[in-house]
Chains A and B, each alone.
Chain A
Amino acid sequence: MTSSRLLWVAAAASLLAACGNYSNDDLLYMAAVPSSKQLAVVLPASTNANQAELAGDTHNGISQVNALLDDVLGLVDAIRSYEPTSRTDNSRTWGPFADKNNPGWQWELIVTRAADGTTFSYVLQTEDTTAAMPAWIPFFTGSFDAAGGVRQGNGSVSVDFASLANAGFPLDSNTQMLTMLQIDYQNYQTPGSPVSVTLVIQKQPDANGVTSVTFTYEILTDGSGEIVFTLVGNVVPGPAIETVTINAAWIPSGAGKATLAVVSGDGAGATQTECWDASFQPTYNSKPWALAEDLGDPSQCPTLPDF
């Protein structure tokens, strides 16, 4: 074999041997899609069987938010744990992957980078491969603008449960009542605030006639946080549809304060204010429609940071 042939063989071997998923660009595309952990709400758990009423409502609401994030973003997290299936100069594609739990369905995640280099859009879509005319159905779409620099910016996500249900996708019991989930978040505008999120759930009316729930929350780096639940439904006896809000805030120890307000509908103007300590034991309660439950005075409420 001549020297030149040896060189060609060496070059070919080098090319063949060069392989892997070692990529900084992949990380940019992955970071554009929020993870469930990134948007999760963290409030110290309660072991108090007699915790304050609104603290319990806050825990329940947070659990609902986190469970929903796990359901939706957990799917993206799982896909993202693999290296991209294909790469182009301005996109990464994962899949299609067969859905092991739902035979006949497959999933695909495509993340695209805009020409500006900092704006990413993505779509997680599914397809019924057994359909006569298979077509991709967008389920999870969103965008992220890294306007704040490294993994800092604002983004939005729309999760379209209704389209999946209409296409015959077998949604589980946790999500089959939902029609749309809208998440808007930013993690750079407020110093010291890792994330600020507005999450709107559109759903079919439940037993209380609730058709939408909006969660707005902000978590600070020290562990304190604030969350506002807004429910629209017929939750107060009477013919009108009410808008009810619970505005809860806490400090890192878990001690907090919440205010329930009927904004409109039957009982409009009614408010309840409750405070609790680090063990979630109520320290103050003002509940005008159940005076017997009143407790303590406002001075026993914790001092909350500005949100």
Chain B
Amino acid sequence: MRGSAKLVAGLAAVAALLGAGAVRAEVLHRYAVIVGNDSGGADTRPLLYAGADAGKVYDILTRLGGVRTEDANLIVDGAASDVLNAIAKVEKQATDAARHGEHTALFFYYSGHAKDGALRLGESRLPIDALRGLVAAAPVDVRIVILDSCRSGVLTRSKGARKAPAFAIESESPRDAKGLVILTSSASDEDSQESDAIGGSYFSHHLASGLLGGADKSGDGQVTLFEAYAYAYDRTVADTADSAAGAQHPTFSYDLAGNGDLVLTDVASRHEGVYLPRQAPGGVYYLVDRQGFVAAEINKGDGVDRRVALAPGRYRVKRRLTDRLRVGEIDVTRGALVTLEEQSLHDAPFSADPVKGAGRYDLTARWSIGAGVGYQTVFAAPEGAGLFPATGLVDVDLALRDFLRRDWVLGFDLAGGSTNSVVASVGAPFHFTEVSLASSLTVEWPNRTLTPFVGGRLALLLMSRTFQDGAFPAQFYSTISPGLVAGVAYHLSRSTAVVARGRLHYLLYNVDGNQSLGYWELATMVTYDF
């Protein structure tokens, strides 16, 4: 769930006006500072999609919004100082540009936690008042601030269909400033929400879909600020109306005296993407990328056409009817505007919804590796211990987080160890070696410093021993051993943690008759999250 109160959406300027009455993208020298941070430091639960949202906005602005890559600053998981440095850099660039007579604009976007009047960037803070002052004072002609802020990161899965209220423009907003437009993702008394189903925050998702062309209500191939906001507002309210956290109402304030509307993206000039022709049925079209992520969600009316400026690639298409889906695929090639023909879609049951495809999780799943040492001993002494001596182990872990489900960890580990012991009954010294290859599924409860976890594990154990006096042949034993695992991770940094872990396993031994043995393991390791 995103930041509580009115997290202000700030904006920067889009530089030039496009013809009469509208600020045209191509005549403004546009700069962008785009920030995403999943971590909000103490007392906040990590978000999943803030960084991805920022990446999406960066892509759209540099591809369609007239922002050159050298003028775009993308800061993912950075600190407040990184943001301030980026703004300072833009100020210097804008000052130089103004000296050459250029009109300039600053586009500031933030997705992440906000609390107690400050943006929370990991452990650092950036007061919203200070940010507003900085942007307002920036030496640019137009400033657009979009703030999609989160406080708690609560996940919302239900989608609402309730009729949403119309959006309102707060022309008397206290945040007004000359040449300044501010969009926030939610009202002052609301939380902003993320959704696994769309792989991002509702607001940023719909804003991005609008900027890609979904918001081009006028059909002129350009998406203006008002169009984008209106589209994001309608879709966000509709999607969150029935959510557990309640409806989320974006807000909008502006002061662009004399400048009229602003063009944010020019989807026509690129002539690349998907074209929904006028005769195509109205409804919401979902364009799903190869990872299962909804790249664009376009609400098309009857009798109008829409251009969706998607990047080249293959997309699955879904349109939802009351009793079934219409699905298909479309290839967007570079430099081509591909028309989506209704005949290319086919009926499919709701169970075939491509948005629910496994690939969707690729967006948020992340790998981590770990290495450490442990100690294992068999419970059932003396029989068990006499067979399998206590052993030190070296352990290497590979984990995939949030792949199957949020906070679920699919793990794979390889461990090995050896020791010397004696078979007491015959006085035979031997060298024991063990290798285990295992997979585990755990659930974790992430917190700022400590993350407890618990789950199940299935291990393939390969054990052998050789006798030092050569009097007996080498022996081996292999079995599959189910067990439980629990532990806690202490986070040294965002990516690094020290883990203390215990395992309790069942061990079936069936050579000298069937015996149910058990063993436990204790281990400590260092992990690194990618």
User: Which of B22-30, B210-218, B354-362, B467-475 touches A?
Assistant: B467-475
| A185 and B386 alpha carbons, distance in the complex (Å) | 29
B512 contact set on A, CB distance < 8 A: 23-26, 87
**A22 in contact with B460 (CB, 8 Å):** no
B464 contact set on A, CB distance < 8 A: 22
B513 interface residue, CB < 8 Å from A? yes
A115 interface residue, CB < 8 Å from B? no
A290 interface residue, CB < 8 Å from B? no
User: Which of A13-21, A56-64, A296-304 touches B?
Assistant: A13-21
Question: Nearest residue in B to A15 (C-beta to C-beta)?
Answer: B508
B465 contact set on A, CB distance < 8 A: 22
A150 interface residue, CB < 8 Å from B? yes
A80 contact set on B, CB distance < 8 A: 472-473
Contact with A along B407-451 (1 / 0, CB 8 A): 000000000000000011111100000000000000000000000
| A18 and B460 alpha carbons, distance in the complex (Å) | 10
| A14 and B483 alpha carbons, distance in the complex (Å) | 12
Known contacts A10-B458, A30-B472; decide if A24 and B480 are in contact (CB<8 Å): no
**B387 in contact with A22 (CB, 8 Å):** yes
Contact with A along B504-521 (1 / 0, CB 8 A): 000011111100000000
A121 interface residue, CB < 8 Å from B? no
Determine which of A17, A22, A35, A150 lies in contact with B476 in the assembled complex, contact meaning CB atoms within 8 Å: A22
A82 interface residue, CB < 8 Å from B? yes
**B425 in contact with A27 (CB, 8 Å):** yes
A31 interface residue, CB < 8 Å from B? yes
**A27 in contact with B511 (CB, 8 Å):** no
Known contacts A14-B508, A17-B478, A30-B472; decide if A24 and B425 are in contact (CB<8 Å): yes
B481 interface residue, CB < 8 Å from A? yes
**Chain B interface helix/strand/loop/mixed:** strand
B500 interface residue, CB < 8 Å from A? no
**A18 in contact with B509 (CB, 8 Å):** yes
A83 interface residue, CB < 8 Å from B? yes
B173 interface residue, CB < 8 Å from A? no
B463 interface residue, CB < 8 Å from A? yes
In residues 7-47 of chain A, which contact B (Cβ within 8 Å)?
10, 13-15, 17-28, 30-31, 35, 37
Contact with A along B472-493 (1 / 0, CB 8 A): 1101111111100000000000
A151 interface residue, CB < 8 Å from B? yes
A81 interface residue, CB < 8 Å from B? yes
A89 interface residue, CB < 8 Å from B? yes
Count of A interface residues, CB-CB < 8 Å: 28
Known contacts A18-B510, A22-B465, A23-B512; decide if A28 and B426 are in contact (CB<8 Å): yes
Known contacts A27-B423, A27-B472, A28-B425; decide if A19 and B508 are in contact (CB<8 Å): no
Report the minimum CB–CB distance from B144 to chain A (whole Å): 52
B426 contact set on A, CB distance < 8 A: 24, 27-28, 31, 150-151
| A37 and B472 alpha carbons, distance in the complex (Å) | 13
Question: Nearest residue in A to B430 (C-beta to C-beta)?
Answer: A27
A20 contact set on B, CB distance < 8 A: 463, 475-478, 511
**A17 in contact with B480 (CB, 8 Å):** yes
| A163 and B424 alpha carbons, distance in the complex (Å) | 39
B479 contact set on A, CB distance < 8 A: 14, 17-19
| A18 and B131 alpha carbons, distance in the complex (Å) | 64
B481 contact set on A, CB distance < 8 A: 14
B428 contact set on A, CB distance < 8 A: 27, 31
Binding site for B on A (CB under 8 A): 10, 13-15, 17-28, 30-31, 35, 37, 80-83, 87, 89, 150-151
Please list the 5 inter-chain residue pairs (A to B) with the smallest Cβ-Cβ separation, ordered nearest first.
Answer: A22-B477, A20-B477, A18-B479, A150-B427, A17-B480
Q: A26-B511, A28-B425 are in contact. List 20 more A-B contacts (CB 8 A).
A: A10-B480, A14-B479, A17-B479, A17-B480, A18-B478, A18-B480, A18-B510, A19-B478, A21-B473, A21-B476, A21-B477, A22-B463, A22-B465, A22-B477, A22-B509, A26-B512, A27-B472, A31-B471, A150-B426, A151-B426
Q: What are 24 residue pairs bridging A and B, where the CB atoms are less than 8 Å apart in the complex? A: A13-B480, A14-B479, A14-B482, A15-B508, A18-B477, A18-B510, A20-B511, A22-B463, A22-B465, A22-B477, A23-B475, A23-B512, A24-B386, A26-B475, A26-B512, A27-B423, A28-B426, A30-B472, A31-B426, A31-B471, A83-B473, A150-B425, A150-B427, A151-B426
